Amino acid sequence: VGDVRNAATLRVLQVAVQRAAHPDASREELRTLVEKALLGERELVVAPEWFAEWAAGRGVGVDVRLKAGWAHNELTRHRYEVVVHKDSADVLDLADVPAVVWGREVSDLAALGRRVERSVGPVRVCGIPNARLVEEVGAAAGVGVSGSGVAFGGPLDPQEVVVWARRLGRDAVITWSGEVVGGFDVVLLREVRAASGVFVPGGEVGRIRANNPGLSRTLGPLLAELPEYLRARLPDYMVPTAVVPLSEIPLTPNGKVNRRALPPPDYAQVSTGRAPRNSREESFCALFAEVLGLARVGIDDDFFAFGGHSLLATRLISRARAELGIEIPIRKIFDLPTPVALAAWSEESAAPRRPGLRKMFVEE
């Protein structure tokens, strides 16, 4: 099976693509762009784990290998090759080969060479940072969308390891790392052999195995119908204001939801969009948008449903006092949380501007 796109590095690839297309985007904006790109992906992408699990259930062997060559491009960074062995009689199983961790037990090729010379059988080296991907992996980590896994040593080019092994009279079998995002493992053999069990899955919880290329065609109608479906079955306070589709739930290394990696809701898409009808409603819409950090707010949009809280309510009161000369009790923000309601209340109450402080002198 040739030219397989790697689902395990798809987020890393999309961060690079979106950063190039949107160089001024913030971390939160990049996370949102990446999620949209993942959900709109129309090509099949498959993680090496899928092939390993598929083979284990059918009694066949699979050999998962990185692409060979010195080039650093999308093909060599994010694609790989798979050989399926139906008859495993003459195939060397490498799944249980003794392993050393790169950066802990060996830190350079010279030390690895000495280790290999002392070994009678094959040697596996795990978790080598991939020089083809190290910059993209670093960028993804900076945005907060890369998976778990820690690399301990310096990066190597996979092709460099292949050439080095040949000089030692060894065959280097290069596969993906099951633990380090974008990293690779190498198994060093004394002779070229047909092999299986080359890729060893790691312990990461919930890593995606394959995408659904047809999802982009069904997601739009689903998101359009979901709010009405929920309103018909749930009380108002339980109906979410915004629905954010995710390609997968981001998890911490211990399997809990990584809330910091979640993209922010796009409230602009769920705004009522009803425009202000007079200058007072226009002023309150502008204040809501400023305090909530939104580009636009409709007159029926709820302050708290769009991300507001008590501290932002205090700021809204301060801005209304400064801009409109209106004193709003904080309780009113909770009772009347929309621009149209506050505008109507302010006109009815005609609350006067708080008098400014005057300098007073006392004669002794």
- The reported pLDDT for the residue numbered 355 is 57
Q: Are residues 154 and 12 part of one domain?
A: yes
| 136: its two tokens | 């993209």
| Inside any domain, residue 342 | yes
Give per-residue burial for 136-154: e unless 16+ CB within 10 Å, then b. Answer: bbebbeebbbbbbbebebe
Cα–Cα distance between 183 and 204 in angstroms, integer? 14
* Pairing verdict, β 184-189 and 79-85: unpaired
Q: Are residues 232 and 108 part of one domain?
A: no
Q: Are residues 225 and 81 part of one domain?
A: no
- The reported pLDDT for the residue numbered 10 is 92
Q: Coil, helix or strand for 171?
A: strand
Instruction: Tell me which residue has tokens 């190039």.
Output: 20
> Long-range contact list for 88-92, CB < 8 A, 24+ apart?
88/59, 88/60, 88/61, 88/196, 90/194, 91/61, 91/193, 91/194, 91/195, 91/196, 92/122, 92/189, 92/193, 92/194, 92/195, 92/196
CATH code of the domain covering residue 323: 1.10.1200.10
Q: Are residues 128 and 31 part of one domain?
A: yes
- The reported pLDDT for the residue numbered 65 is 94
Sheet architecture: strand order including 79-85: 4-5, 79-85, 61-66
Q: Are residues 339 and 191 part of one domain?
A: no
| Inside any domain, residue 149 | yes
Q: Are residues 238 and 98 part of one domain?
A: no
Question: Which segments of the chain have a pLDDT < 50?
Answer: 205, 351
Q: Are residues 236 and 158 part of one domain?
A: no
Q: Are residues 65 and 102 part of one domain?
A: yes
What does the angle CA 337 – CA 242 – CA 234 come to, to the nearest 5 degrees? Answer: 80
Q: Are residues 192 and 85 part of one domain?
A: yes
Q: Report the candidate in 220, 233, 238 with the shortest Cα–Cα distance to residue 305.
A: 238
Q: Are residues 238 and 186 part of one domain?
A: no
Burial category of 40 from C-beta neighbours within 10 Å (exposed 0-12, middle 13-18, buried 19 and up): middle
Cα–Cα distance between 182 and 177 in angstroms, integer? 7
- pLDDT one-digit tens code per residue, 146-188: 655 666 789 999 999 999 999 999 999 999 998 888 899 999 9
The residue ranges of DSSP E strands in the chain, in sequence order, are: 4-5, 61-66, 79-85, 92-93, 99-101, 123-128, 171-176, 184-189, 195-196
Are 62 and 55 within 8 A, CB to CB?
A: yes
| Inside any domain, residue 346 | yes
- The reported pLDDT for the residue numbered 227 is 77
- pLDDT one-digit tens code per residue, 263-276: 777 665 556 667 88
Give 74's contacts (C-beta < 8 A, 6+ positions apart): 13
Number of domains making up the chain: 3
Q: Are residues 275 and 237 part of one domain?
A: no
Domain span holding position 323: 266-353
